[in-house]
Amino acid sequence: MRWKRTIQLVDVHCEGEIGKVAVGGVPKIPGETIAEQLHWLNNDPKGQELRRFLVLEPRGAPIGSVNLLLPAKHPKADAGMVILQPDQAHASSGSNSICMTTALLESGIVEMQEPETTVALDTAAGLVTATATCRDGRCERVKLTMVPSFVHELDVSLETEQWGRITFDLSYGGIFYALVDVGQVGLKIDKANARALVEAGMILKEEINRRIPVVHPEIPAISGVAYVMFRDVDPDGAIRTCTTMWPGRVDRSPCGTGSSSNLATLHARGKVKVGDVLTSRSIIGSEFEVGFKELTEVAGRPAVIPTISGRGFTFGLHQVALDPFDPLAEGFALTDVWGPSAGSIG
């Protein structure tokens, strides 16, 4: 076989959300910082080609992400990472950071120390510190100290054709979220409603980004609402979450960056204090522990430092390859499994 490109991946999921980690064969990504590399991946044709190669069919699938393991740029980091998804490369993700940490330790790329190993991840959003509980050669649990999370604006209103006036919060937890109380779209966060929630989330995301520009005040490469996360409260007080992801699926995990964004809104409303620990529960019932570690500031705005604790599980190793004669090298997506928005993917 005379392949043009091969990339080796460790298969990992975090609380049900797949986050494959590309550990070998990743080409050199231009940029002096991870943020510059993120910008290149999203704006250079070669960067977009790499993303499509890994996440679209026939080599990829609608569920999950592919995380690029990159050399760290930050002097205190053990590894760099960028998250690839069908729409673009993303700056940060809690579930994917847990997948990355689990893959690094269980593959031996970073030496595992028992009972605890600290791994520093260099992301476009900043340094994420992962503290892994380890036993018998296995990474049992990972606790992330996330980047500062802050509110962009509370109680933003938008008139929609489908549901009338929708009110939501715009908040940052490593990427920007629109946080919507789910009852406003006439649904509950339940596995049976996954398709309807995705369709509502895609409509809202498009409308919000069309009307309301958002840019990180210190990292211009991070802009726009990446996801709409629906939220609710379960009878036991856990926060039920459903992050909707372009072009047509929901996050299987409770969503680390979304839960961080939501923590910032709870603090802004005076509902949490430093030291509090909350439970975020996903659409499939898996859970993250969300801690309020400390207060800080971002460009003069009040911000919180969240912690996200969850589990990652390795389930395979595989290699993807590109035949130089393959007419489908650029990848494709169809609406039958990717959802209606896939029609805009080439």
| Annotated binding residue 85 | yes
**Residue 37 labeled ligand binder:** no
Residue 257 annotated as lining a ligand binding site: yes
162 labelled ligand-binding: no
Task: Give me the catalytic one of 14, 139, 242, 255.
Answer: 255
Catalytic hit among 14, 65, 92, 93: 93
Q: Is 93 known to be catalytic?
A: yes
Task: Tell me whether residue 314 is annotated as binding.
Answer: no
Secondary structure of the chain as H, E, C letters: CCCCEEEEEEEEEECCEEEEEEEECCCCCCCCCHHHHHHHHHHCHHHHHHHHHHHCECCCCCCCEEEEEECCCCCCCCEEEEEECCCCEECCCHHHHHHHHHHHHHCCCCCCCCCEEEEEEEECCEEEEEEEEEECCEEEEEEEECCCEEEEEEEEEEEECCCEEEEEEEEECCCEEEEEEHHHHCCCCCHHHHHHHHHHHHHHHHHHHHHCCCECCCCCCCECEEEEEEEEECCCCCEEEEEEECCCEECCCCCHHHHHHHHHHHHHCCCCCCCCEEEEECCCCCEEEEEEEEEEEECCEEEEEEEEEECEEEEEEEEEEECCCCCCCCCECCHHHHCHHHHHCC
> Per the annotation, does 48 bind a ligand?
no
Q: Can you say which residues are annotated as belonging to the binding site?
A: 85, 94-95, 251, 256-257
Q: What residues act catalytically?
A: 93, 255
Q: Can you say which residues are annotated as belonging to the binding site for substrate?
A: 85, 94-95, 251, 256-257
